Structure 1
């Protein structure tokens, strides 16, 4: 999927590559990765689209075709729903929108009952200037968080005014320190149940370099992106 994302891969194609039946492949893949093969393939395609939007001058139409979409409208709609902004907005962000660490309440709902979420972030082989922790409705770090915070380093965190429901907690390192290798990082826990007026506790959230089974990160909060110099 990571090598042939532009092709119209089917479940049969993927199972054949793994030399197992499609039913066994679907069951084991979903259990190990946490999402279905189809969902994983969609995430891989959109992650490549993010890279092309930020690092190349290709048009949205050209990028849509390169990542396996037959319709630019379908691509733009899926990108916007999953990343949290349109392809054009994302390109502008990558090309100079000023990062912001303010507005922790920007994506929270002020209606309905809320609870809170307590936990601790640790780092496994990752040195970072700070960490992002957010609450999402998906096992994939995508879209906009229901609540989020940043930490100056590994340690405890508290998320206030988390809407009641079942949530996934995702963490990411915000910039690496001297002597640390660049590359993606991630940590996830969930689903966790948040109840009205109560403090739910999250298992320790360990941020590390992801392996093959970790879907790419798709959310696009401004301070999670590194603007690309133009010119």
Structure 2
């Protein structure tokens, strides 16, 4: 089961610019599309379509930061037929439009995260306490927030930044179902490189009448993790140094 999903993820990461369909991916990994849809969601937490969309936007972020290509050109390069559709999806996923992201990633301009609950006083909202730990020493701030899905994208419903590992508090977390995400950069042992660490809890049911306390353990991303799309202030220039997870277990003959 996992091998088929790993092959599917590799196809998505290598052929994201193509008009990939679930049928095409399933055919390439020699399983039925219904079986692939079920096991892919079990392993990665999302559907192949959502994983493909995340990879496309992640690649667009890289191109915006490292090239001077026009947004329309990048849109086409990552598999979009319409620049307008690309810009809308990028803005929805990253939190800011492509042109603003390019400026932010190069240290130009400012970006402030605004949660959907900011400025509200609602008795049905909750205070969520927890502890964040990590397998390596942080070299950036630690970003923690509640989001509506398993991919770290879009606008958080509640958001905080921690400078140290340990206890944290999220204020005004809306009641209902959410996903708790955390991310930071850490130092690699005996190396000047950094690595991206993430943690996800969810789906979680937030109840204003029940005290909640959680533990987040930040670990390096692996092949089954969707890319981090949300643009955190002060994070993007550093995050580009963190390499993407590899696929060492796949045979060299896979095409």
Q: TM (normalized to structure 1)?
A: 0.88
Partner of 1:194: 206
Q: Give the drift of 1:191.
A: 1.3
> What is the aligned counterpart of 2:197 among 185, 190, 205?
185
In the TM superposition, residue 184 of structure 1 has moved relative to its aligned partner by: 2.3
In structure 1, how many angstroms separate the alpha carbons of the residues matched to 2:190 and 2:209?
A: 43
SS at match of 1:85: coil
Comparing 189-198 with 84-93, which one deviates more in the overlay? 189-198
From 134, 139, 152, the equivalent of 2:145 is: 134
Which structure 1 residue ranges, 5 or more long, are not aligned? Answer: none
State the distance in 1 between where 2:31 and 2:137 align.
39
Separation (CA, whole Å) in 1 of partners of 2:107 and 2:195:
21
1:78 Cα deviation from its structure 2 partner? 0.7
Question: Partners of 1:183 and 1:61 in 2: how far apart?
Answer: 31
User: What is the CA RMSD across the aligned residues, in angstroms?
Assistant: 2.2
Quick one: higher RCO (CA 8 Å, sep 6+), 1 or 2?
1
Say if 2:78 is the partner of 1:70. no
- Matching of residue 90 in structure 1 with residue 101 in structure 2: yes
In the alignment, the residues of structure 2 paired with residue 165 and residue 34 of structure 1 have an alpha-carbon distance, to the nearest angstrom, of 19
**Mapped partners of 1:13, 1:182: distance in 2:** 35
Q: 1:27 aligns with which of 38, 59, 66?
A: 38
The answer on 1:2 being equivalent to 2:10 is no
Deviation at 1:176, TM superposition (A): 3.7
Asked if residue 45 in structure 1 is aligned to residue 56 in structure 2, the reply is yes
Cα-to-partner distance string for 1:29-55 (whole Å, 9 max, x where unaligned): 011111100000000000000000111
CA distance in 2, matches of 1:111, 1:68: 42
- Mapped contact 1:172–1:186 kept (Cα < 8 A): yes
The one of 110, 115, 137 equivalent to 1:107 is: 115
Aligned to 1:54: 65
Tell me, in whole angstroms, the C-alpha distance in 1 between the residues paired with 2:137 and 2:161: 15
* Structure 2, gaps ≥5 residues long: 1-11, 240-255
Distance apart, 1:98 and its partner CA: 5.7
